[in-house]
Amino acid sequence: MTVNNERDLEGMKRAGRVVAQTLAVLKAAIEPGITPSDLDLLAGQVFEAHGALSAPRLEYAAPVNAFISVNDDIVHGLPTHRPLAAGDVVKIDVTPNVQGYIADAAITVAMPPVSLVVSRLLACGEAALAEAIKVARLGRPLNGIGQAIELEVRKRGFTLLRELQGHGVGRAIHEPPNVPNFFQPGLKQPLHEGLVLAVEPMVSSGRAWRTRTRRDGWTICTTDGGLAAHFEHTIMITRGAPLILTA
């Protein structure tokens, strides 16, 4: 989506606020014994309070309000009834449709006790997202985003899950352009003002960069059991620093 009027800007800001509030509520609720299904129900309550609907449910018939992925599950995890336990690595991916506008963001939460590897993994994912947002400037090439992510993940010694990528967002969940999380020489098109992107590095503590889909047809996991982290924001390109709509 390209935002070119105040109505669209306010619509995207409103969707971004619902994302941020939902993530905050779910993060605060995470404790041993709560289940991903409990978190999904809680997300639905937040959505209802703000007049929002689950965009994955509307567009793809996903049976969720929010995707909850645990440990080696990376993204699109269907909420289960298994209670969360000490040491679990929990990804929360929230994508509401708020009166026709869609924003998308994800966080990763590590339940204590947090190992050094998990602490470093989460720091890697957060840093990669921060570096990507830093270079997402008007006129710069699209492939600069993936290059920034790739360099940061490589520097920190973790594995970039290259089969998964960011995307345009706004009126639908997945819109052009695709935003690979690694450098692709051919993606030289300049970022233009108003362009809305979901930037989302996904990294693993394992060595395999390939992924697989579980039998439920939704949950994407690592192929070697490596723990995964996923961080995401929806941003809009401006004449200055990008506007982080889901902050």
Whether 167 has a binding-site annotation, put simply, is: yes
227 near 205, Cβ under 8 Å? yes
**Nearest 5°: CA angle at 241, between 245 and 56?**
25
Neighbouring C-beta atoms of residue 75, cutoff 10 Å = 21
The distance of Cα 5 from the centroid of its chain, to the nearest Å, equals 26
Whether 232 has a binding-site annotation, put simply, is: yes
Length of the chain: 247
CA torsion sign, 111 to 157 to 20 to 64? negative
63 near 37, Cβ under 8 Å? no
Whether 200 has a binding-site annotation, put simply, is: yes
Whether 193 has a binding-site annotation, put simply, is: no
Whether 73 has a binding-site annotation, put simply, is: no
Whether 8 has a binding-site annotation, put simply, is: no
Whether 233 has a binding-site annotation, put simply, is: no
Which residues fall in the annotated binding site? 76, 93, 104, 167, 174, 200, 232
Please report, in range form, the residues annotated as the binding site for substrate: 76, 174
Q: Which residues are annotated as a binding site for a divalent metal cation?
A: 93, 104, 167, 200, 232
